[in-house]
């Protein structure tokens, strides 16, 4: 109500307003207020999911900067600016929420603890007057908190748009829509106050619990826009660059212990290599470290060949991205070798990494090597080849310290019991006696989590018709996992924000429910869809929690 001297008409209007507010408060049912609370809780969960996702992206920025500061610094600085602006606006909205709540509960709300709000302790849930009085006041003006908030949102929106090129129309449209401050019906004749301005539409005569849900929705929009822009900035780091952010020379031999007369083979390549260009590999044998570190004119270290060392250039099969080193073990003993692997960077300069390795040539002994990879996995049959020179296969046996190893189709199957290490002992029947002929230690690891997908996608932009045509959520093993293993999704939740409110529906299987499909059908282009709380069960009966799928409708 107005302060100071009032006319009789103003006094009458004030009294009518109080009566109307009281009547509205009496008409707010408990179910409506509970619905607002549920919506606010759902928004809070989504906010936490996006915050975790954003933290991972900022972590990737830091890793990329540690690897290549000169090419990452610009994008890291922009990302930090986005984080600072997003945090500032988010905290400002949180401050307004707490201010209104404290005012509604006479400055001593039990629901407020530091910067957080406990929804279950809010008492003035039906207060219509305080949100309107603080956010709008007697009349809407530049001093109204709602106007100040709108200007802050617009400033944040314009800052994000300044970072996105005009050609990226989809991202710019998403930012504009997520941070929209336009009136709901600007072209309507004789619109109501709620239709005439964004401020009245959001904060005009809503109960306290509804006001808090609306403000949480604004915070969600702030974080969602932040997520989209920092992901865009992160992809800009590698635009036109070599498609890996860490270089390490890797040597993988077939074995470091071979039988005289047999062949030693080792693969040499750059981890996360780019197969669109082949590396140059220089090999030197009999030298432990056949390279030297030098300093260029700019003070940067680089790898170069060592004087007095004889190098040979290793042949690299076109398109393979790796060289294969082969030597016949003609004499026994330890053999040292190494060299330099080189690839051309995007600037045209050479990127070099050194490597070194050794192997042993010995008389006949045991060779144990996993068929598919260098580790054993829990819950699957791990094929293992075991052979002993000069001993028939039917005279060879083995046991393991962590699990069981049994013969199968001419080889062996290893079934480990727990994560950690596993020592495989090999026995051979020689002269009628069972003898230990060798041992080999392996690592035992959990099978990696499957990847949740819809239409073969882990997230990103998806056509609405494509999404509606899918039956549900699938769980597939990572592409680099060589075992045939299937997981089945047992439950998931589909969530989206519709007109500032969160709508979510759960499925107790791997299929979309009719409610979920109806929700998708109502969404417009650019709307975010989150498929979360995904659980999948594997053949061993264990339940895995899978990562959230974040879609944006196209």
DSSP structure string for 493-513:
EEEEEETTEEEEEEESSSB--
List the structure tokens of 430.
């020689």
> Rounded to the nearest 5 degrees, what angle is found at the Cα of 161, between the Cα atoms of 502 and 143?
70
pLDDT tens for each residue of 66-95: 888 888 899 999 999 999 999 999 999 999
273 pLDDT more than 80: no
The neighbouring-strand residues paired with 335 are: 359
DSSP string over 103-126: HHTTT--TTEETTEE-GGG---TT
What gap in Å lies between CA 260 and CA 357, rounded to an integer?
Answer: 19
Q: What is the DSSP letter of 239?
A: T
- Token pair 């003070």 in the structure block, residue: 299
How many CB atoms sit inside 10 A of residue 1's CB? 13
Q: Could you tell me the two tokens for 407?
A: 């013969």
Q: Where are the alpha helices (DSSP H) in 338-392?
A: none
Give pLDDT tens digits for 152-178. 999 999 999 999 988 889 999 999 999
What's the pLDDT band for 113 if we cut at 50, 70, 90?
Answer: confident
Round to whole Å and give the CA distance between 452 and 240.
29
Q: Could you tell me the CATH superfamily of domain 366-445? A: Immunoglobulins (2.60.40.10)
Give the pair of three-digit tokens for residue 476. Answer: 């597939």
CA atoms within 13 A on the CB side of 260: 8
Instruction: Reply yes or no on domain 249-361 having CATH 2.50.20.
Output: no
> In this predicted model, what pLDDT tens digit does every residue of 372-401 receive, in sequence order?
567 898 888 889 988 887 677 888 899 999
In whole angstroms, give the CA distance from residue 227 to residue 86: 10
Residue carrying structure tokens 């932009």: 461
Give the count of alpha carbons within 13 A of 202, CB side only. Answer: 24
Residues in CB range of 338: below 8 A, 6 or more apart: 283, 284, 287, 288, 289, 290, 291, 354, 355, 356, 357
Burial of 454 (0-12, 13-18, 19+ CB in 10 A): buried
182 pLDDT more than 60: yes
pLDDT tens by residue, 475-527: 999 888 888 888 999 999 999 999 889 999 999 999 999 999 999 999 999 99
CA distance 62 to 522: 39
pLDDT digits (tens, 9 = 90+) for 285-298: 988 899 999 998 77
Contacts of 104 (CB under 8 A, 6+ apart): 124, 127, 130, 131, 208
**Distance, CA of 517 to chain centre:** 25
Q: What is the pTM of this model?
A: 0.42
Structure tokens that stand for 48 in this block: 């936490």
Domain boundaries, the chain: 8-237, 249-361, 366-445, 451-553
């Amino acid at each position: 109500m107005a302060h100071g001297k009032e006319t009789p008409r103003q006094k009458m209007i004030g009294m009518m307003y109080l009566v109307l507010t009281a009547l509205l408060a009496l008409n707010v049912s408990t179910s409506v207020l509970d619905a607002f609370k549920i919506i606010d809780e759902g928004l809070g969960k989504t906010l936490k999911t996006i915050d975790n996702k954003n933290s991972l992206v900022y972590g990737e920025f830091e890793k990329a900067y540690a690897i290549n500061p000169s090419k990452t610094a610009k994008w890291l600085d922009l990302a930090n600016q986005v984080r600072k602006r997003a945090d500032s606006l988010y905290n400002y909205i949180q401050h307004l929420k707490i201010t209104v709540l404290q005012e509604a509960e006479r400055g001593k709300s039990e629901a407020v603890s530091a910067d957080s709000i406990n929804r279950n302790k809010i008492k003035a849930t039906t207060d219509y007057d305080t949100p309107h009085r603080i956010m709008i006041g007697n009349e809407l003006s530049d001093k109204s908190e709602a106007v100040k908030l709108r200007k802050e949102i617009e400033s944040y929106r314009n800052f994000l748009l300044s970072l996105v090129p005009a050609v990226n129309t989809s991202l710019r449209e998403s930012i504009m829509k997520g941070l929209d401050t336009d009136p709901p019906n600007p072209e309507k004749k004789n619109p109501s106050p709620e239709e005439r301005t964004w401020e009245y539409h959001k904060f005009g005569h809503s109960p306290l619990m509804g006001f808090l849900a609306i403000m949480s929705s604004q915070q969600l929009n702030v974080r969602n826009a932040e997520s989209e822009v920092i992901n865009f900035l992160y992809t800009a780091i590698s635009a036109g660059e070599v498609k890996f952010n860490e270089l390490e020379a890797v040597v993988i031999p077939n074995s470091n212990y071979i039988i005289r007369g047999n062949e030693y083979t080792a693969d040499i390549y750059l981890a996360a290599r780019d197969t669109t260009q082949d590396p140059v590999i220089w090999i030197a044998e009999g030298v432990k470290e056949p390279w030297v570190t030098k300093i260029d004119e700019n003070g940067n270290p680089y790898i170069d060949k060592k004087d007095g060392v004889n190098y040979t250039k290793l042949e690299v099969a076109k398109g393979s991205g790796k060289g294969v080193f082969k030597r016949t073990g003609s004499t026994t003993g330890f053999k040292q070798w190494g060299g330099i692997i080189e690839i051309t960077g995007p600037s045209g300069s050479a990127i070099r990494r050194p490597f070194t390795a050794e192997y042993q040539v010995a008389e006949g002994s045991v060779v144990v090597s996993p068929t598919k990879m260098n580790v054993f996995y829990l819950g699957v049959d791990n094929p293992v080849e075991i052979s002993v020179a000069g001993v028939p296969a039917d005279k060879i046996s083995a046991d393991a310290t962590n699990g069981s190893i049994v013969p199968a189709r001419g080889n062996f199957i290893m079934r480990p019991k727990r994560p950690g290490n596993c020592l495989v002992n090999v026995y051979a029947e020689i002269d009628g006696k069972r003898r230990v002929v060798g041992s080999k230690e392996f690592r035992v690891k959990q099978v990696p989590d499957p990847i949740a997908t819809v239409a073969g996608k882990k997230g990103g932009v998806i056509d609405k018709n494509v999404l509606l045509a899918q039956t549900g959520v699938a769980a597939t093993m990572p592409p680099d996992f060589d075992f045939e293993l299937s997981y089945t999704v047992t439950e998931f939740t589909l969530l989206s924000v519709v007109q500032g409110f969160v709508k979510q529906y759960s499925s107790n299987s791997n299929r979309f429910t009719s409610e979920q499909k109806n929700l998708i059908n109502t969404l417009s282009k650019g709307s975010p869809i989150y498929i979360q709380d995904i659980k999948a069960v594997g053949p061993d009966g264990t339940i895995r929690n899978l990562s959230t799928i974040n879609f944006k409708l196209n």
